Structure 1
Amino acid sequence: MKTHILLIATSLLTANLLSPAKAQFPVMGSSTQAKALPGTAGDQSPKGSGKIIGYVVDSTQTKAVEFASIALYNKTTGKAVDGTVADEKGKFALTKLAPGEYRVLVSFVGYRSKTIDNLNLTNGQTVDLGVIKLPSSVKTLEEVTVTGQAAIIEEKVDRLVYNADKDIAAKGGDATDILRKVPLLTVDLDGNVSLRGSQNIRVLINNKPSTIVASSVADALKQIPADQIKTVEVITSPSAKYDAEGSGGIINIITKKNSLQGLNLNVDSGVGNRGSMLSLNGNYRKGKTGFTLGGFGRAMYNTITKTSLEQTSQVDGVTTMTRQTGDGHSSGMFGQYNLGFDYDLAKNQSLTAGVRYGVRNMISQQDLVTRLFTNGMAGSVSNRNVDAKNLSGTVDVNVDYLHTFKPQQEWSISTLYSRNDLTNNFDADLLNGSDVLTGRQRNLNKNVNQELTLQTDYQTPIKKNQLIEFGGKAIFRQVNSDYRYLQAGPSGNFVTENNNTLGELLYHQNIAAGYTSYTYTTKQRYTLKGGLRYEHTFIDASTRESGTLGIGNYGVLVPSVNASKTIKGTTVKLGYNRRIQRPGLQQLNPNFNAANPQNITIGNPSLRPELTNNVELGLSRTIKKTFINATFFGRVTNNAITQVRQPSDTLPGAIVTTYQNIGRQHAYGTNIFANVAVTSKINIGLFLNTFYTSLTGQAMSVDGISETLTNTGFNVSGGSFASAQFKNGWGAQAFGFMQGSQVQLQGRQGGFGFYTVGVKKDFSNKKGSIGLAAENFLSNRFNIHTVLNSAQFSQVSDVYLYNRGIRLTFTYKIGKMTMDAPRKKARSVNNDDVKSEGGGQTQSGGAPAGGGQPRQ
């Protein structure tokens, strides 16, 4: 879609440069401003009554080439005197021409230009050029491919764009593999994503939200095949058009779209020692109607985890030390299936609809051995074998309408219904020190998250260098969570436990929002984009245990300002925005995850939103073959939602993790990225992220006394990647990433490393390829060492990950597609307003995913 818009913009810009009469609608958002060519927009050409008409078609298909550029040159002076753009039928007309001898140049992206010489025009004469056939330009396409190889990073006034479709090592992987390579982002080994150290971000897929992302970003990314991702947009300073949610920023994943004419089917597959995948995607378009049908399935297996834990807690003068070891493995099936439809109601109106279903089935098993020591004396030894199920089914249905009045003036209506059914259950066999079964435990947790969104947007240009946007949005959201704890003896039926047996959360959250945004580009090439957004949130929440929670409604006014200017080849960007972060499902869910009773997780349905002020300064420059980007940022968050741990007052030696609005969080740092185009086919990239963070706040201790918590420190991560294209369709790529330990409110979470290399061979007919990729092959395992502590507890944990892998990939295209005209499709809904799981902590003590809380 973006490619098609670019083609239209290119043609319009060409026409604007050539014809003063038609240069009414400049391209907005560009850091440069079109200047008139000598002898064209700056001069008044002599007028007459002559006319030149014609019809531009594809030479191989006798099909109209829409929006082709037609330039008229004076043959004597060689200067351009007029120009126009063909309509949707390929027709064009140059009118009010003075007598003379002319030359016509017809061009369009993807075709070889055609020149018609020796046109002698007299006053009042009409010259019909008839059908002008443009042949395809294979050479031009090859040059575009090489350019794309070099331009991995694109910069816009409010975002950084990473072109992911060049990644050959990610075949057979998922979106997590791609996001690890995007500058400004860090992704831990559980798939939790951070932007400049903040996990309070919003992830969109093709500008659309999904309830599965609201439930768990990490699990949602596993459902997106890596080789279907075209670009990743990192929006560090969102404008007022975006929802106010996402204090760290917004990540928009754009998947590959095919809007060409004809029918085709793409087959992608991969098999490895730890996972396999199969993807089938079909596209059909005829005239005004287009359909897409696709499916993706991925299996994960042979995932082994070993853990060790030592923690000490003090409650009522009794010191309890826990020593625990765990051995586990997990397997999973992920799938995503979609059906799309688009129809051009008229020349300037379009309708888009789609249905997407996502499924996630994660099964994990872990054997835990726990030894307790009370005041230094050895106590009980117990074994616990846990089987956990993390199951999810998500349905997204959207219908969108777009009406384009003229270039950059458009009105859209977008609707979206989304529902996620999430199940987190576990069964545990309880054994004594002699491995004799003494009892069984079961936790049943059913969650439903559904939302309906209605949105309308309007934008229009003002004069030649200004654009105004405004719109409104309504979100109706409902979250339900039911849980039960059951127990049984070594045999027999399960019965309800005596304490903490039943729980239910009913959470209604309705949001009404309105915004306006203004973009202004000066003659000196300054670009300024400012906006104001207001959101009002209505909350009605209750639990079975406590009744109505009494969480008040609240409103927030969110300003945003972004400015950019290119000074002597250096682009300078300055931005400020205010963001809010509402708690997500896993922060609210009151079910306590006791799959590992020494490390319990429970949500807090009384959480309030957090409010963040962000400031950033970005500098970027291309020096010969090297692109350099450096961004300096500051972030202050009030009422921050953070994981807080404290000893249990009922279970000896246990640590309980919950979420609280702890107070204030500061972060100041820099992101540096450099890309070197060694040759047109070899790229090397380096990136470094470093920031200083300070967390401070008040939390309730186990005895009900308010405790002051504070922690500060530096967070550092970085990596490098390289890619190369060789002769005869061969290519290679390598990537490495290292993240240091991360500052937490009560300690530091351990760091980790990741690396991968891959090679690919394209078939001679360009319809398929075969590849081989290997990751973490130099070591058998990786250790994440985490140290957490407070005045009442200390915890040291080690998680050993066995993630050495290799995979073979295969892709093939069936069918043939032909060049279609650029078409502007209806916009879709963006819900950027729910906090993800946060914390991003690998579960200490080897607690398996599931058991009532989505993976952390």
Structure 2
Amino acid sequence: MESKRLLSIALLLLLTIITTTAQAQFGMGGGAAQPKALPGTAGDNSPKGTAKITGYVVDSAITKAVEFASIALYNRATGKAVDGTVADDKGKFTLAKLVAGNYRILISFVGFRSKTIDSLTVTNGQTLDLGVIKLPTSVKTLAEVTVTGQAAIIEEKVDRLVYNADKDILAKGGDATDVLRKVPLLTVDLDGNVSLRGNQNIRVLINNKPSTIVASSVADALKQIPADQIKTVEVITSPSAKYDAEGSGGIINIITKKNSLQGLNLNIDSGVGNRGSSLALNGTYRKGKAGFTIGGFGRGIYNTITRTNLDQSSVVNNVTTLTRQGGDGHSQGLFGQYNAGFDYDLAKNQSLTAGVRYGVRNFVNQQNLLTQLFTNNVQSFAQNRYVDTKNLSGTVDMNVDYLHTFKPQQEWSISTLYSRTDLTNNFNADLISSAGTLTGRQQNLNKNVNQEFTLQTDYQTPIKKNQQIEFGAKAIFREVNSDYRYLIGGSTGELVTAQNGTQGALLYHQNIAATYTSYTYTTKKRYTFKGGLRYEHTFIDASTAEKGSLGVGDYGVLVPSVNASKTFSGTTFKLGFNRRIQRPGLQQLNPNFNAANPQNITIGNPQLRPELTNNFELGVSRTIKKTFVNATFFGRVTNNAIVQVSRPSDSLAGAIVSQYQNIGRQYAYGTNAFINVAATSKINVGVFLNAFYTSLSGQVTGRDGLTSELTNTGFNVSGGSFVQAQFKHGWGVQAFGFMQGNTIQLQGTQGGFAFYTVGVKKEFANKKASLGLAAENFLQERFNIHTVLNSPLFNQVNDVYLYNRGIRLTFTLKLGKVTAEAPRKKARSVNNDDVKSDGTGGGAAPTGGAPGGAPRQ
């Protein structure tokens, strides 16, 4: 292992040498870029004099230097600009080598009113000192900024689609799941599992940063992000070589709201409803070169009810067993996220950023299951089962980042990240006879620790005017620990550990060394090409307490990416190809024997290998007057696909065991279409449709150790629409609806669902306060998700009834007085896009031990 770590570090050292060489080659200097010379300055051949003008520019309100203010010198007789400069970090400026004459000076900067000093006369050899020049601020408070019209809800770039979520008036009081449901190309089921073009193997970043909790469960991580703090959602369908190779479906980057305002600012957001309540406090303070942020968000969910019906039959040793199960369940949970950040400008071209974020999840689910077994059509067993499941976690992320900007588009950064998640996933079950007496008890104890440290460096520089090159390196040191025990006992006495591999510990080391280079070229006719190459080598040392080393070998992968775009007469065409790798995540690896519902048992597989996916896409978009149209045709081929496979249990009558396996190959071909109509500057209407054909096939290992060929094909269709309108006096309304059709899985089909919501909002006090009301799924009492799984050895029909009719009232308040300042470029943060989440992978009954294998709530 030590040699593997040394190899990872060696790659980083190699890149550092390359970076140093590049600095010398491209002539990087330690100072800021100098502005281009105006006519009559040292940059041209105009005659020079010996006069000089100096001065200091300060903020009239706080008598503080205005850094980088622009100074333009004009000839009073001709009115033409003859010289110019930029103030330094102390507000000082100097205009030298001036010809004697009469001049006028214009001083300007973002956030301040421009100031003109007229009738300046200088003679050769004279130094004219203007002293302290005070600029008045042009924006006193945020409330005084008036925005007319509406920004585009959807923006399209060469490799991604950007959804401006801060315009969503329905998201107040919700979480990130509520926002992502409305993003074109994405599908979010009723449990929060996200898929991109039907693929759940995606990476989710928060402000370009990863988190270990996302590696455990994307659905759970999204519940910890308040919806009203999300500014934009970037759907990166064709990631460049700069991004980690992980995520066969693509990358989702959630950008939260930030500001570059001087002063103190505090936002209070709250909401209460029949199914959940929330409270968020977020504050910022900036003075001079330093900025501080602190915030917290908490959300409680309750009154979440689920009812299930399950029929499944299996044949083992020529004995047919029929299981019939009905269940009632309810859940409640507390989710929170707390953060603190600091940034400081070390110099005018250098910045340092640090932050810490803590997330907590306390989720409890109670279930009452009635199970009946029929052996060869004769009832052989009946039992009630009361299950109390606890899913608890705490996650901490800490980062320190440094950025050095040499000139526009030329910069070098170093980023670090430490992340740790402590996860507990336990259940207690009481077994009750048909007579109502306690006959037995069961318990599962599963504690996990997932921690990682990342070191990354990146460098980019322009080449001439139409080219740019980027390269960098990254090292990730990851460790996963999982201790698990399955205990059983009678109605009294102590619980004892069950046999047959139901106790153990997994130790999984995964170290990754990566390097990349990317090149962008734009032709004179505005063709844009972006190509890159990335190499990642993964070192694995995996073992369990009972079996020792698992013999999972190291592997390397070369990942190319190509993107191209061109606009013809207002129509933009995009073409992309990339290869992605999908490493198994914690829940796929964890060998814990989860029998919260003994008729649907789930277990991980620590010997999983990564899957490789080739993605192709062709996109067309056009704006026709007030209508934006986008259509994308895509295809992907995945080898060694990781899916969940189900089979009858060898030892438990009527039970189905589901485990992740590398099955073989998966194909998907389809299209996404999106239309947005800005009917007026205050009304927007959007419609989107996703449709694709999928084929899954591969060799699956059965309960007898033999392999068999499984194949399933079919269409997946989903779509939705939204309308948003703003009216006078601060009133606004919005409606959204979405429908998901059946989803093709390896062994069957999972049923579809629908979701819709309508809301209204009223703003008060010059937009410093607002009150909102939203209703969800109010036309019917429940949704039914009908799932059918089948194979030669078993058949399963599962109906899950979700009661998610809801209403919520929200209130927001903004406090503080702030002034605008120029935006500052901050150090970039680490992006770890390299672990597969546990969103149900498309193989069999969903995981989590809910009644009848129901999706987790």
TM-score, structure 1 as length reference = 0.90
Aligned residue identity for 1:133: L
Give the C-alpha shift of residue 141 in structure 1.
8.9
Aligned residue identity for 1:470: F
Residues of 2 paired with 1:45 and 1:568: CA distance? 41
For the aligned residues, what is the CA RMSD? 3.0
Contact 1:264–1:282, Cα closer than 8 Å, also in 2:
yes
Query: Structure 1, residues 688-733: CA drift from partner, whole Å, max 9, x if none?
Result: 1111111111101223321111111111111111222222222222
> Which range moved further: 339-348 or 97-106?
97-106
> Which range moved further: 413-422 or 433-442?
433-442
Match of 1:355 in 2: 356
Residues of 2 paired with 1:77 and 1:669: CA distance? 63
Residue 466 and residue 81 in structure 1: after superposition, are their counterparts in 2 closer, same or farther (change >3 A)? farther
Residues of 1 paired with 2:680 and 2:649: CA distance? 60
Residues of 2 paired with 1:475 and 1:75: CA distance? 61
Match of 1:133 in 2: 135
Residues of 2 paired with 1:476 and 1:854: CA distance? 32
Residues of 2 paired with 1:695 and 1:61: CA distance? 66
Q: Does 1:719 align with 2:720?
A: yes
Name the % identity.
77
Match of 2:637 in 1: 636
Residue 738 and residue 95 in structure 1: after superposition, are their counterparts in 2 closer, same or farther (change >3 A)? farther
Match of 2:314 in 1: 313
Query: Structure 1, residues 533-585: CA drift from partner, whole Å, max 9, x if none?
Result: 11100011112332211111000011111122222112222111111000000
Match of 1:383 in 2: 384
Residues of 1 paired with 2:140 and 2:626: CA distance? 26
> Which range moved further: 496-505 or 782-791?
496-505
Q: Secondary structure at the match of 1:220?
A: helix
Residue 142 and residue 707 in structure 1: after superposition, are their counterparts in 2 closer, same or farther (change >3 A)? farther
Contact 1:389–1:851, Cα closer than 8 Å, also in 2:
no
Q: How does 1:262-661 map to 2 (within 5 A)?
A: 262-661=263-662
> Which range moved further: 425-434 or 724-733?
724-733
Q: How does 1:661-700 map to 2 (within 5 A)?
A: 661-700=662-701
Q: Secondary structure at the match of 2:179?
A: helix
Aligned residue identity for 2:539: F
Contact 1:48–1:123, Cα closer than 8 Å, also in 2:
no
Give the C-alpha shift of residue 103 in structure 1.
6.5
Match of 1:763 in 2: 764
Give the C-alpha shift of residue 102 in structure 1.
6.8
Match of 2:754 in 1: 753
Residues of 2 paired with 1:853 and 1:585: CA distance? 21
- Which of residues 146, 149, 152 is equivalent to 2:148? 146
Residues of 1 paired with 2:309 and 2:391: CA distance? 23
Query: Structure 1, residues 770-828: CA drift from partner, whole Å, max 9, x if none?
Result: 21111111111111111111121111111111111111111112222222332222221
Match of 1:32 in 2: none
Contact 1:768–1:811, Cα closer than 8 Å, also in 2:
yes
Give the C-alpha shift of residue 169 in structure 1.
0.8
Aligned residue identity for 1:172: G
Residues of 2 paired with 1:556 and 1:219: CA distance? 30
Residue 410 and residue 368 in structure 1: after superposition, are their counterparts in 2 closer, same or farther (change >3 A)? same
Residues of 2 paired with 1:80 and 1:524: CA distance? 32
Residue 144 and residue 829 in structure 1: after superposition, are their counterparts in 2 closer, same or farther (change >3 A)? farther
Residue 217 and residue 96 in structure 1: after superposition, are their counterparts in 2 closer, same or farther (change >3 A)? same
Q: Secondary structure at the match of 2:587?
A: helix
Give the C-alpha shift of residue 163 in structure 1.
1.2
Give the C-alpha shift of residue 767 in structure 1.
2.2
Residue 46 and residue 830 in structure 1: after superposition, are their counterparts in 2 closer, same or farther (change >3 A)? same
Q: Secondary structure at the match of 1:224?
A: coil
Query: Structure 1, residues 291-310: CA drift from partner, whole Å, max 9, x if none?
Result: 22211111010000001111
Q: Does 1:739 align with 2:748?
A: no
Query: Structure 1, residues 180-231: CA drift from partner, whole Å, max 9, x if none?
Result: 1111111111111101111111111111111100011100000011111111
Query: Structure 1, residues 352-374: CA drift from partner, whole Å, max 9, x if none?
Result: 22111111000000111111122
Residue 709 and residue 81 in structure 1: after superposition, are their counterparts in 2 closer, same or farther (change >3 A)? farther
Contact 2:845–2:853, Cα closer than 8 Å, also in 1:
no
> Which range moved further: 807-816 or 268-277?
807-816
Q: Secondary structure at the match of 2:834?
A: coil
Residues of 1 paired with 2:671 and 2:108: CA distance? 44
Residue 92 and residue 748 in structure 1: after superposition, are their counterparts in 2 closer, same or farther (change >3 A)? farther
Give the C-alpha shift of residue 855 in structure 1.
5.1
Aligned residue identity for 1:208: K
Residues of 2 paired with 1:93 and 1:128: CA distance? 9
Contact 1:592–1:852, Cα closer than 8 Å, also in 2:
no
Aligned residue identity for 1:314: V
Residues of 2 paired with 1:821 and 1:115: CA distance? 20
The alignment covers a number of residue pairs equal to: 822
Residues of 2 paired with 1:852 and 1:376: CA distance? 23
Q: Secondary structure at the match of 1:218?
A: helix
Residues of 1 paired with 2:436 and 2:693: CA distance? 48
Give the C-alpha shift of residue 741 in structure 1.
0.9
Q: Does 1:252 align with 2:253?
A: yes
Match of 1:839 in 2: 840
Aligned residue identity for 2:342: F
Residue 46 and residue 354 in structure 1: after superposition, are their counterparts in 2 closer, same or farther (change >3 A)? same
Residues of 2 paired with 1:851 and 1:377: CA distance? 21
> Which range moved further: 382-391 or 701-710?
701-710
Residue 545 and residue 822 in structure 1: after superposition, are their counterparts in 2 closer, same or farther (change >3 A)? same
Contact 1:564–1:571, Cα closer than 8 Å, also in 2:
yes
Residue 845 and residue 110 in structure 1: after superposition, are their counterparts in 2 closer, same or farther (change >3 A)? closer
> Which range moved further: 375-384 or 269-278?
375-384
Contact 1:596–1:845, Cα closer than 8 Å, also in 2:
no
Q: Secondary structure at the match of 2:309?
A: strand
Structure 1 unaligned regions, length at least 5: 1-19, 25-36
Q: Secondary structure at the match of 1:830?
A: coil
Residue 845 and residue 552 in structure 1: after superposition, are their counterparts in 2 closer, same or farther (change >3 A)? closer
Q: How does 1:806-817 map to 2 (within 5 A)?
A: 806-817=807-818
Residues of 2 paired with 1:720 and 1:109: CA distance? 39
Residue 815 and residue 143 in structure 1: after superposition, are their counterparts in 2 closer, same or farther (change >3 A)? closer
Aligned residue identity for 2:533: L
Query: Structure 1, residues 617-650: CA drift from partner, whole Å, max 9, x if none?
Result: 1222221111222211111111010111111121
Give the C-alpha shift of residue 75 in structure 1.
7.2
> Which range moved further: 718-727 or 247-256?
718-727
Aligned residue identity for 2:273: G
Aligned residue identity for 2:331: S
Residues of 1 paired with 2:469 and 2:846: CA distance? 54
> Which range moved further: 121-130 or 54-63?
121-130
> Which range moved further: 175-184 or 621-630?
621-630
Contact 2:403–2:412, Cα closer than 8 Å, also in 1:
yes
Q: Secondary structure at the match of 1:592?
A: coil
Query: Structure 1, residues 496-538: CA drift from partner, whole Å, max 9, x if none?
Result: 2233331211111111111111222222222222111111000
Contact 2:139–2:820, Cα closer than 8 Å, also in 1:
no
